[in-house]
Amino acid sequence: MVSTDQNQRKDVDVAIVGGGPSGLALAAELKRCGVGRVVVLEREISAGGVPRHCGHYPFGVREYGRLLKGPEYAARNVDEAVKYGVEIRTGTTVTQLHAGGRLSLTTAKGLETLDAKRVVLCMGVRESTRAQRFIGGDRAQGVISTGALQSLVYLKGMRPFRRPVIFGSELVSFSAIETCRHLGMRPAAMVEELDRIVTHKIIQPYLAVRGVPLFAGVQNPKIIGSKTVEALEFIDAAGVTQHIETDGIIVSGRFRPEAALLRRSPVEVDLGSGGPAIDQFGQCSDSAYYSAGNILRPAETSGWCWREGVVTAKRIADDLSSNGKPETGVARLVVTSPEIQFALPQRLTRSDRSGGMDKMQIGLHEPVNGILTATVDDRPVWTSPLNARPVRRIQRPLHDILAANDGRDVKLSIGPRR
């Protein structure tokens, strides 16, 4: 905890890095909780985050009781924050996080420093790139992420190609089909390296409805084209080399936290999630820092992030008004099975504070059907059956694990069903 002495002489009470759903909801809630000066630092020209360029439904049903498209939802989040007195600074890039809540910023006017009592990291996620998936071939123009496609289509009314191949089969990959249709682009195919679509199978018939052939279980994808994309080549599930003529590749999904700012920062990173390691209150290893939203894990819905922002705001407001209750120790929730990509919170704080998260979130590298076990010194303290796949929402109660926390690490592993 930051002592009351340190809380003085700060520029703002809370600085939020990133003005997407979680950051804006968190900022508005902080003001509703009576926190003084709250500022959102947004590097884009306008706040709102990814929903700004998701020109489709459904957004905002639980938050505002209305069915909204992404841009309307983003605007509503901004309006709410402003209404409650949040200061939103756009065109403002945080370039370095320093210990104790000091931020280095740059704007069109040059460099600046901002001191905050608490900083909240809400930088969100982006999709993995072609290189990160080792897609070989030529470096032709026309290979873009779904995010880039959406911003071209919905923010600029521009179309980068006419008949792209969609690489990946997550929900976002399916939404890319709708984004294409918005400006008359007709996807030539959806291509997936795994042997089935990554998202729920119930969505698969949608491909037939839209006339988009699916190639799952492909190997060695290769982009062909000297200046612009001309084709995608790969070996299909039957071992046959396929050559699909196309003028663009949408490299979709496999989200990862936009967390490069954590490098050389006082905030510890969890290599599994790729985001900051938080405790059950959303607090980071430097106690001036909190985090919420999709930077914590790839990737949840906007609504989820919005609610995460709200509950985290309450914890921060509580923290700021408590004048720094001493903690009694931090243990770690350590993942020891390779099938598990991450489990959060990564840090388990022994504290008198109430209002922490009551569920942990788990992400998988590969499909699992077994028993999830938490152990302290090889002694099981909690078990739960788990039959799940990667890129799914997986939650389990945190209560028993928190109760078992005696300062020693808690190990989380997958074992066979008995």
Partner 1 sequence: MNELFDVAIIGAGVVGCAVARRLTLNGAKVVVLEKASDVLDGASKGNSAILHTGFDAPPGSLEQACVAAGYKEYLSVAADLELPILKSGAFVLAWDQEQLSQLPELIAKAHKNGVGDVALVDREDILKREPGLSNTLVGGFEVPGEYLIDPWASAHAYLLQAMANGAILRRDTEVLEGKFSNGHWTLETSSGPIAADLVINCAGLYGDIVDERCVGETCFTVTPRKGQFVVFDKAASDLVASIILPVPTKKTKGVVICRTIFGNLLVGPTAEDQESRTDASTTREALQALQARGVEMVPGLDTCEVTAAYAGLRPATEFPDYQIRSLTDQNYVCVGGIRSTGLSGALGIAQHVVALLGDQKFTGVPIADPALPDIDRLSDYHRRDWQDAGNGGIVCHCELVTRREIENVMNGPMPPSSLQGLKRRTRVCMGRCQGFYCTAELATLTEGHFKVPMGVEHGEH
Binding site for partner 1 (CB under 8 A): 43-45, 53, 91, 93, 95, 106-111, 126-127, 129-132, 134-139, 141, 144-145, 147-148, 151-152, 155-160, 183-184, 220-222, 226-228, 256, 258, 260, 263-264, 271
State in angstroms the smallest separation of the CB of 119 from partner 1.
Answer: 18
In order of 8, 113, 324, the CA distances from 3 in angstroms are 9, 21, 6
State in angstroms the smallest separation of the CB of 86 from partner 1.
Answer: 21
Q: Which is nearer to partner 1, 24 or 172 (CB)?
A: 172
CA distance 87 to 302: 21
State in angstroms the smallest separation of the CB of 199 from partner 1.
Answer: 20
Q: Which is nearer to partner 1, 256 or 315 (CB)?
A: 256
Length of the chain: 418
Q: Which is nearer to partner 1, 204 or 337 (CB)?
A: 337
Nearest to 117 by CA among 18, 20, 28, 35: 35
CA distance 366 to 387: 11
Q: Alpha-carbon torsion 53, 59, 63, 64, what sign?
A: positive
Q: Which residue has the tokens 């209560």?
A: 399
> What per-residue string of b and e applies to 8-22 under the rule 16 or more CB within 10 Å gives b?
eebbbbbbbbbbbbb
User: Which residues contact residue 369 at a Cβ distance below 8 angstroms, ignoring those fewer than 6 apart?
Assistant: 386, 387, 417
Q: Which is nearer to partner 1, 135 or 348 (CB)?
A: 135
Both tokens of 326, joined, read 């001493």
CA distance 275 to 306: 18
State in angstroms the smallest separation of the CB of 265 from partner 1.
Answer: 11
Q: Which is nearer to partner 1, 45 or 202 (CB)?
A: 45
| Residue 241 neighbours by CB distance under 10 Å | 11
State in angstroms the smallest separation of the CB of 240 from partner 1.
Answer: 18
Q: Which is nearer to partner 1, 248 or 356 (CB)?
A: 248
CA distance 192 to 251: 10
Nearest to 74 by CA among 4, 135, 150: 150
Q: Which is nearer to partner 1, 101 or 160 (CB)?
A: 160
State in angstroms the smallest separation of the CB of 383 from partner 1.
Answer: 29
Both tokens of 215, joined, read 């190639």
State in angstroms the smallest separation of the CB of 230 from partner 1.
Answer: 12
State in angstroms the smallest separation of the CB of 127 from partner 1.
Answer: 6
Q: Which is nearer to partner 1, 95 or 328 (CB)?
A: 95
